[in-house]
Amino acid sequence: MKTIFVAIIGDWDGGHHGQYPILLGYSSDRKEAPFSSSQGWGYGFSGNFYSLEGLVKYDLIEEYNRKESIWAYEILKHCIANRLNDHEASELLLESLNDNSPIVPDELWCKLQNYA
């Protein structure tokens, strides 16, 4: 299963006015590093796959400490503080996704779904 939790499309440093979104995704196929984190399409600036521990180690978690993604940031921080594993973290993110789905124009959504 591939899921996008965060897609920040607006203006942000390096974002070229939303053309290159900040993305946080999850792929259950990737057992060791299921979280994807990227600035840009595909493997843009800092884009790669990480475990929850890796998001912290490389300080990528702080990319999501902003109003558009604070819900995901707080869940990730909770998971780290409580030593939850990647799967448990993804379950908590999925539970909150319906109330926090990213607002993405329809024409971009197909591209983003291929990325996750």
Residue whose tokens read 């490389």: 58
Which pLDDT score, from 0 to 100, does residue 43 have?
45
Which pLDDT score, from 0 to 100, does residue 51 have?
96
- Of all residues in the chain, the percent with pLDDT exceeding 90 is 51
Which pLDDT score, from 0 to 100, does residue 85 have?
96
From CA 60, how far away is CA 54, in angstroms rounded?
A: 8
pLDDT band per the 50, 70, 90 thresholds, residue 92: very high
pLDDT band per the 50, 70, 90 thresholds, residue 104: confident
Instruction: Specify whether the CB–CB gap between 97 and 91 falls below 8 A.
Output: no
Q: From residue 68, give the alpha-carbon distance in Å to each of 10, 21, 26, 45, 86.
A: 9, 12, 18, 19, 22
Nearest residue to 104 via CA among 34, 7, 27 = 7
Within 8 A by CB and 6+ apart from 62, the residues are none
Residue 90 neighbours by CB distance under 10 Å: 22
Which pLDDT score, from 0 to 100, does residue 15 have?
54
* pTM, full prediction: 0.82
Calculate the average pLDDT of the chain: 83
Q: Is 4 helix (H, G, I), strand (E, B) or coil?
A: strand
